[in-house]
Structure 1
Amino acid sequence: MASRQGSSPVLSSALALVLLTSCVFPASALPRRLTTLVKGPALTPKYQSGPLLKGTVTVDLVWYGRFSPSQRAIIVDFFRSFTGKPVSGPSVASWWSTTGAYGSGGTAAISLGSQINDETYSLGKSLKSADLVTLARKAGARAGVAVVLTSADVAVEGFCVSRCGTHGQRRPGSPFIWVGNSETQCPGQCAWPFHQPIYGSQTPPLVAPNGDVGVDGMVINLAALLAGTATNPFGNGYFQGAKEAPLEAASACQGIFGAEAYPGYPGKLLADDATGGTYNANGLEGRRYLLPAMWDPRTSRCSPLV
């Protein structure tokens, strides 16, 4: 059973900081980084005439570091929920359907491909941006999106300081995403609202729907970056602002998860009556997730699931 959770906390004048970066790695260029405050009104991504991801998109996972079986299952079930059998209520699939309103060709069908495990930390526990590209290339040469996931004990250049994740190209025309587990490094920045923010009102955090602050936070960032990859895969799709620091489909709506959201308050959400976990999307195998609002080009506004 689920109940509606909706009481609004009283905010201080400071804004809650949520970091999320969309990065592109053109040849011999530095990654693009973006640090933004959660505030309104949301900006409007505009189409820059470039290609989008449509049709069947295979996602290959590269696990770097040590993840428990339960942590892996949370993320694997998230990707399986894009095209699995329908579930009732707001769902991962219905959230993703908004990307189909970007351009023509409908909604991309996400298919989970291979999984590569690097539990020996082959590149060490302190990674540079170029190392992320190296890891993404381990996913092979086929078309699709490589997703690099780094464990909580891995430090990555810019992580927590200016970004929670990135998306770019592992080679020309081949996208990749990286997201790190922030649980022990910066949960107030990269796992909000499941942890108190480092700035703003210090209201109690929400309960992570799958019981793992770090990995449930990773899902939020994965979702936002996957939406950005589908709608702006090569830096010339849909975005707002400077090309070097674009606001994309979900990052244009940062901090918005439910209706009536405002800075520091994620909005009215659903709560599991048994666990207290807060969510807005149902997935396969009874999973529940919290996913960011997306800018909907049909209504020209940020549209949360609930």
Structure 2
Amino acid sequence: MKDSSLFCFLLIFTTLLTTHKEEAGREGLSLYTPPPLVLDYHDGPLMTSSTGIPVYLLWYGVFSKSEKQTVADFVRSISPMNEQQLGLTPSVSMWWKTLTSYKDNRGMQVTSVVSIAGQHTDRSGSLGRNLNLLDVETLVENSVANAYFPADAAAVYVVVTAYNVNVQGFCLSSCGLHSFLQPSAKTKGKQLVYAWVGNPGTQCPGYCAWPFAVDPSIGPQDFKPLIAPNGVGADGMVINLATLLAGTATNPFNTGYYQGVATLPNEAATACLGSFGTGSYPGQPGQLLTNTLTKASFNAYGIHHRQFLLPALWDPTTQTCKTLT
């Protein structure tokens, strides 16, 4: 990718299940306690703007009205004032509040305010249905160059690709990514932060929409998929977008909070991979709430009485993975 770094993540359940079996087999045989998970701070900027984080949504391809509303409602649910209007807990803004514990070298914390500043739909798919990662960057650049969105260095530009759009690495090595563009004429001379997430509803729900689907190709699993509150594809996009926004806010330029190598780091949410509720372990999401009517599983309320399932976040104050339920 041109002058940018790739962050990608994949729910690899074969690894998760194998790890759990190995740990179970070693019970009682060793007194070794692994060191705590720590995301080191690398002295770079975080997303700390006092005016908040504007999110620009670029819908690439065809989406249902429900899918768009679900994803947009998740983003709108992050800000605390929407939690006050909602009056239900645990909430999406409570989930994001953990990220405000991340501070930069000036003592500035990740902002608590996130809002949708604009949306644009490229329904016809201007670059075709088979995209590489440079095409994703081009879509972001074009959205600014064509004045769909302004050039905003404090914002996150999110490209969301439809169920029938193939993106390089999707379902094979990643469920999405976040990165940044260096200043150029197309970006109006500004360094822009962006993310991409795909719709996994039909392409790979077992990988990128777990625990609402399982992948039969990895063999028998002692796990029955949970019922998705908003649909497998929509909720898969929410889980992955939540993961990406958490990583973007705390590590926008490869120099924030992460563990491991900068090009493939453990970040705020990926450090807690596969954990959604208390008591989670590899292959099991943990204790969740259940909708009494639909039997759908969730752990956070959003605006319009939406119910979402959001990943656990690494809490820098306790150095543990924090869940809402």
Q: TM-score range by the shorter chain?
A: 0.7 to 0.9
Compare the two structures and name the one with the higher helix fraction.
2
* Pairs within 5 Å for 1:30-69: 31-35=6-10, 37-38=15-16, 43-55=37-49, 56-69=52-65
Moved more, 67-76 or 138-147: 138-147
The aligned residue for residue 176 of structure 1 is 194
CA contact 1:26–1:169 (8 Å) conserved in 2? no
* Pairs within 5 Å for 1:243-282: 243-282=262-301
Alpha-carbon separation, structure 1, partners of 2:57 and 2:37: 31
The aligned residue for residue 141 of structure 1 is 151
Render the CA deviation track for 1:229-271: whole Å, top value 9, x for unaligned: 0000000000000112101000000000000001110000000
Alpha-carbon separation, structure 2, partners of 1:216 and 1:161: 19
Task: Pick the aligned partner of 1:159 from 157, 167, 170.
Answer: 170
Shift of 1:34: 4.9
Code of the residue aligned with 1:165 in structure 2: it is G
Q: Percent identity?
A: 45
* Pairs within 5 Å for 1:9-28: 25=1, 27=3
* Pairs within 5 Å for 1:147-226: 147-172=158-183, 173-198=191-216, 199=218, 201-210=221-230, 212-226=231-245
CA contact 1:81–1:283 (8 Å) conserved in 2? yes
Code of the residue aligned with 1:204 in structure 2: it is K
Alpha-carbon separation, structure 2, partners of 1:189 and 1:202: 16
Render the CA deviation track for 1:146-182: whole Å, top value 9, x for unaligned: 0000000000000000000000013343110100001
Alpha-carbon separation, structure 2, partners of 1:191 and 1:85: 26
Distance 1:26 1:134, change over 3 A: closer
Alpha-carbon separation, structure 2, partners of 1:240 and 1:85: 31
Bigger Rg, which one: 2
CA contact 1:179–1:218 (8 Å) conserved in 2? yes
Alpha-carbon separation, structure 2, partners of 1:187 and 1:151: 13
CA contact 1:31–1:129 (8 Å) conserved in 2? no
The aligned residue for residue 91 of structure 1 is 91
Render the CA deviation track for 1:109-129: whole Å, top value 9, x for unaligned: 101111010001100000010
CA contact 2:214–2:225 (8 Å) conserved in 1? yes
Task: Pick the aligned partner of 2:70 from 74, 89, 101.
Answer: 74
Gaps of 5+ in 1: 1-24
Shift of 1:30: 6.9
Alpha-carbon separation, structure 2, partners of 1:231 and 1:250: 10
Distance 1:265 1:278, change over 3 A: same
Shift of 1:89: 1.1
Alpha-carbon separation, structure 2, partners of 1:207 and 1:43: 31
Alpha-carbon separation, structure 2, partners of 1:32 and 1:61: 19
Render the CA deviation track for 1:253-303: whole Å, top value 9, x for unaligned: 000000000111000000000111100000001001000000000101000
Code of the residue aligned with 2:6 in structure 1: it is P
SS in 2 for 1:240: strand
TM-score when normalising by structure 2: 0.82
Q: Is 1:298 aligned with 2:314?
A: no
